[in-house]
Amino acid sequence: MFTSNELRWFYPGTIPEDIEVWFRQNCLIDQMQLPEVREDWYLYTPKCDFLGIKLRQGRLEAKWRQAEFGVVHFGEFVEGKAEKWRKWFCDDPTGESFQPATFLRTSSWINVQKVRNNQLYQVLPDYSTQPVATKEHIDNGCSLEVTHLISQDHAWWSLAFEAFGEDDRLIGNLGALASRVFNTYRGSKLQVEDSYAYPHWLGLILQ
């Protein structure tokens, strides 16, 4: 089980060039880092934006929204909705049950192709932050990602934070990193009406 505080935005189209340049120059510790390319399958649950179920690389994952913290602001360019989520993982050691071919037979499972750039940050006891290698184990931290999405023959992009660690530090970990990176952000305004999680986004692309 994994608990996180999250902040996400979704927009149609490809990632704007100014967003990509900002992310690589101000957020990544290795500007030559290659993005992660993968394919996920999401179970569409109509009118249920508090539950997310997906198949990711042979593992079934379920997320449940535990709390909504309302609107958060970071300078004049950024406003969004912070949420608390809890995630459960289900692995099949035989490798037989959770195969994409199983889900191709039903329209309830939605294929989402992702090209994901991600940077992990450690959040120190004083809430200062420092970038670290993605695979490094840390107790309190927050990741920042910019992801290109293809689903239903349409392109979207997303900017997201996912904070983890001790429960009473989660929202602080999220705010610490967002405050840091948005100090250098001068891209298009990130608006609260575009801030939501994957279950809500699936409802939009399937309308």
Q: What is the pLDDT of residue 147?
A: 98
Q: Tell me the pLDDT tens digit for each residue of 144-169.
A: 999 999 998 999 999 999 999 999 99
- In this structure, whether the domain defined by 2-205 belongs to CATH 2.40.320 is answered with yes
Question: Does the pLDDT of residue 19 top 70, yes or no?
Answer: yes
Task: Tell me the chain's radius of gyration from C-alpha atoms.
Answer: 17
User: Which DSSP category does 98 fall into?
Assistant: S
Q: What is the pLDDT of residue 104?
A: 63
The candidate with the shortest Cα–Cα distance to 9, out of 182, 183, 139, 206, is 182
Q: What is the pLDDT of residue 97?
A: 61
Of residues 93 and 35, the one with the higher pLDDT is: 35
User: Which DSSP category does 29 fall into?
Assistant: S
Q: Tell me the pLDDT tens digit for each residue of 39-73.
A: 999 999 898 999 999 988 878 899 999 999 999 99
Q: How far is CA 23 from CA 13, 51, 136, 146, 159, in A?
A: 17, 29, 20, 8, 10
The candidate with the shortest Cα–Cα distance to 13, out of 135, 158, 146, 116, is 158
β-bridge mates for residue 80, sequence order: 72
